[in-house]
Structure 1
Amino acid sequence: MKHPRIFAAQLGCAKNQVDGEHMLAELYSAGFVSTENAEKADFLLINTCGFIEDAKTESINTVLSFIEAKKPSQKLIVTGCLSGRYMEELPKEMPEVDYWLGTYEPGKILKVLGLGEKASGTENLARLNLGDYKHHAYLKVAEGCDRRCAFCAIPNIRGKQISFSIESIIQEAKELEAQGVQELTLIAQDTTFYGHDQGCKTGPSLAKLLKAVLKETNIPWIRTLYWYPEFIDDELLDLMANEPRICKYVDMPIQHASSHVLKLMRRSYNQQSLRKMLTDIRTKIPGVTLRTTVLVGFPGETQEDFEELMQLIQDVRFEHLGGFVFSPEEGTPAMKLKEEPVPEELARARLDAIQDLQEEISSEANEALIGKEVKVLIDEVAEESDYHFIGRTEGNSLDSDDIVKIVEGDANPGEFYMVKIIDAEPHELIGRIVSHA
């Protein structure tokens, strides 16, 4: 019996990547085999993103390129946020696509392909890890989001938050550990809200989940993405401060600092409470790395609002910061605001100013590490370059933060080493290996 071959293209965020891993696990369980050559595939799968305009454009262009290249005998499957968000419109615009699915639902892809009888027991499938490095994996702990931020379409696409059971998460974590994972990144739209959707204070929480992962596995690095200011408590901060296996790393997208803009954005905090929270994190977790994301150009944002954001960035000195210009998304509360939109040219100028400031802050933070020894996880061999290996400290998340370039010493990817930092740039550290960690 011939096993159908499938080629998969993965777009979007890490949460979408995990969805793609679960879909492919189901297909493999039903007899499909993977191929890295799209021309040789019987099925082509595109897992799309539809969060903001740039992501939608990339997804649509990818689908169109697959439509143009696919053979008559090949079947094209489009899944993910874009198709889920525009399920009524897209099939009419792209009839060449054979199967349209939304975001991941256990067993759905098998049923759509007519393999429903093989869909039972999908919750017990082996956990695939299709990331670039086998020593790192993402593990999604919840689906959806209860926050109704004015600019965000995620609740419309993925619904309200549903936290997965600690037992199911631990099962996945153990499977990933058995595959050699050394760094596990727990992800959700809002990890700090984990368990709160169940409405019981004695039920699960992020702190309880982390304690279970610590107890049931020996994975050396455990990281969490993303935090929301409203649901951070002392138990969580104390756990991060005292447990060496939990990376002292907080990625908390604040979006803005002006109380005026935060209210327009429907964020449930103001500048005063935000500053207190950031101070508490710095105080309770010595050596913590802070990452954030900010959004400029939101309707109603004044020059004074922008200057308040700049001042907070200057005061807090985030080690890492990403920024975006407001993108109006249909179906979001922001589309109904009466406030004047910020001209795009002005919004982009504001983002440039933030990025220039952050460049200075990141440079200072990295230069402060020169001469110090830090623990580094080696990610890969640096092929055809003037350095030997690429790695990261616990203060650098995969795919979004700085790297460590190793210019002296030998190492194995997926292992930890003590590295002496001998030079630094705004987004990279340069070091030599001192010893195995």
Structure 2
Amino acid sequence: MFDRPDVGERAVLVHMELSSHSDTEDLGEFRELVTSAGVEAVDTVTGSRKQPSSRLFIGEGKLEEVRQAVEFAGADVVLFNHALSPSQERNLERELKCRVLDRTGVILDIFAQRARTHEGKLQVELAQLEHMSTRLVRGWTHLERQAGGIGLRGPGETQLETDRRLLRARIKAIHRRLEKVRRQRDQGRRARLRADIPTVSLVGYTNAGKSTLFNHLTAAEVYTADQLFATLDPTLRRLELPDVGAIVLADTVGFIRHLPHKLVEAFRATLEETVEATLLLHVVDCVDERRDDNMEEVENVLLEIGADEVPVLQVFNKIDLLDEFSPRIDRNEDGVPVRVWVSAVTGVGLELLFDALTERLGQNVLHRFVCVGPRDGRLRALMHDAGAVLSETHRENGDVVVEIRLQERDWFQLLVKAGVRPEDLRFDPELDRDRA
């Protein structure tokens, strides 16, 4: 009988450079993942191979080196910075006499620790169960075949078959519950669409500062920490922008290179906030030496979830860590803001971010000079109530020239409330000449 050892808090890390793989994992990032999981890395074993061994991933010599590291450090678990097959994990555990987890297992463990809402916990459980479904054989090898002896004779399914059946039933149940969550989110998005409220979704590599920026913009209290995947559960807040009005800002889970596909699938209900967004704020850690690679990984995940066509405004964060760097807005050849340099911690540059958001979302802003007479009191009052009045000029004939600035959609809604047809409006011929 092969019993799986328990996971402890002391780990030996294994990282191999594979010449047959052009896109290898980053050891520094893996150490951050391990720390975020609350595990102490007591030793690191590195090496290089042309390609992984089908049986153990590593060779016999490297296996002995890992075994000695485990014994010397008293480690409880060996963590591989690679994706291992179920048979490789099983063989390594038998050889090392301790628990073995691959990169996906570490990420799943972090997600399990971070999930707070019911939806988040369901999504993590789904990803864990689907990952576990291919590895069930490890824990029940002694029951893969019906054994003889008293109490064990006769027809019936093996324990392994029972577990697989129960696992499939649980996965189906979670899918049904997440589908209900997805429908509820769809209803919320449709309601915002009917109200013509733009949604701005924060995306970016994990630990880029999305939640810190979210808290600074909305005065929310989303959990923040200098660790990977500090945020799992999506948070939505209403925000008022000049010339735009109400928008919804959404904070979402961070991305990471080679994010396990099952996790992307499990969090699809959450990531739909990104797919359906009006604008994406791509938050980038501008001082990270892997900045360009991280940006490319985020773009790859956006492509995978179908959000690659959503307009993007880049936010280069953490400029407080750069020497004598001032916040600024970078524009394209058409003068449209494409990048804003800010510090979410100190708040430097956030006013520029608001300006850039207003420009990107407020492209249909109406700026006119409307002539209202004594009988147009209701229209004038509604313009004031909407906060659209910039100035008023009284004329000798009793008219008042009202300078207004607001979204076109809000203007036409205001006219409907006032019972005024657009063709009946009067505009100042001099002041309004360049505004029409």
Higher helix share goes to which structure?
Answer: 2
Same topology, TM > 0.5: no
In which range does the TM-score fall when normalised by the shorter chain?
A: under 0.3
- With normalisation by structure 2, the TM-score equals 0.26
- With normalisation by structure 1, the TM-score equals 0.26
